[in-house]
């Protein structure tokens, strides 16, 4: 388990490079915020979490990375369920503090064009009535 990285994963690096190429600057893993978001845009009051589909149990039906292991289910099920609960608690706390939150799933980083458009929409400076 020690070999499992929680920072600088390939999906996180993909998102970071893409956000940087869009001209946005950010802080990493700000410890003063709930859940230590992966990317923090302080002036915009926005954060991005990059979640691994397995560890955070991607709810999309069809994401094959989010399946539970068949062996040792008594260990894995409560562990992964607690991760999902913790994620919801962190997102709720951030939103209560006035932050906007975006969760990017590992499987979503595979389609660069869709991800770029999603990040661009999220990182717009002002919310306008027209999309």
User: What residue segments make up the domains of the chain, in order of their start?
Assistant: 10-120
Q: What is the pLDDT of residue 66?
A: 82
Yes or no: say if 88 and 94 are a contact pair by the CB < 8 Å rule. Answer: no
For residue 48, the 8-state DSSP code is: E
C-beta neighbour count of 127 within 10 angstroms = 6
Q: What is the pLDDT of residue 103?
A: 97
Q: What is the pLDDT of residue 7?
A: 80
Q: What is the pLDDT of residue 120?
A: 96
Q: What is the pLDDT of residue 130?
A: 44
Q: What is the pLDDT of residue 68?
A: 83
Q: How far apart (Å, rounded) are the C-alpha atoms in residues 116 and 21?
A: 10
For residue 8, the 8-state DSSP code is: S
What is the rounded average pLDDT for all residues in the chain?
Answer: 90
* Three-class secondary structure of residue 76 per DSSP: helix
CATH 3.40.50.300 for domain 10-120:
no
Whole-model pTM: value is 0.88
Show the low-confidence residues of the chain (pLDDT under 70).
1-5, 61, 126-131
């Amino acid at each position: 388990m020690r070999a499992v990285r929680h920072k600088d994963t390939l999906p996180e690096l993909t998102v970071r490079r893409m956000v940087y190429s869009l001209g946005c600057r950010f802080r990493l893993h700000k410890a003063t915020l709930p859940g230590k978001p992966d990317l923090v845009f302080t002036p915009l009051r926005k954060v991005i979490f990059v979640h691994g589909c397995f560890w955070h149990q991607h709810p999309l039906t069809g994401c094959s990375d989010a399946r539970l292991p068949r062996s040792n289910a008594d260990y894995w099920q409560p562990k992964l369920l607690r991760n999902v609960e913790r994620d919801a608690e962190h997102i709720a706390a951030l939103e209560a503090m006035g932050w906007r939150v975006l969760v990017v799933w590992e499987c979503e980083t595979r389609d660069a064009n869709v991800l770029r458009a999603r990040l661009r929409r999220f990182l717009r400076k002002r919310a306008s009535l027209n999309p």
